[in-house]
Amino acid sequence: MITQGVTVTTRCDDCGGVLIRDIGQFIDGGQLWWGTEGSCRTCPTAWCEQDTGAATPEAIRQALLAEHGPARLRLAGPGSSSVPVLRALRETHGLSLAQARAMADELRTTGLTGTLVEMELMAAGLGRRSVAVTVESAAD
């Protein structure tokens, strides 16, 4: 399982105490999942939530990117045919053909960026279409 997380300390809205939030993204069953849980050190405020879908809430994405930096997905070689790339991008993201073309152009030039989990999920979709890619994390 590919996962990435971060712990964030904020102020509790209920009592003003210290609120600890554990935030993360992971791939399970070929799907992108996100989760967050939090608890206050002073009062009984606590929660845990998890969900899946095409997009992770932007606050979670930004916390992961701030902590770990962006990962970059690139084509492994210049000879990849456009057809499998477009199919994989459309299947993975539910894109229109025009949107997939724009994303494929970015993949061929500068590479696509996002969280490590997002790029690994996209790499898996491209791999199922026999498109060779590499994922570079900010830690590399």
The pLDDT of residue 118: 94
Q: Which residues of the chain have pLDDT under 50?
A: none
Q: Beta partners for 72? A: 113, 136
Q: Are strands 3-11 and 18-28 parallel, antiparallel or unpaired?
A: antiparallel
66-88 pLDDT, tens digit each: 999 999 999 987 666 889 999 99
Question: What is the C-alpha separation between 70 and 119, in angstroms, rounded?
Answer: 9
Q: Beta partners for 3? A: 26
The pLDDT of residue 79: 66
Q: Which residues make Cβ contacts (< 8 Å) with residue 20, sequence separation at least 6?
A: 7, 8, 9, 38, 39, 40, 41
The pLDDT of residue 93: 82
In residues, how long is the chain?
140
Question: What is the C-alpha separation between 62 and 68, in angstroms, rounded?
Answer: 10
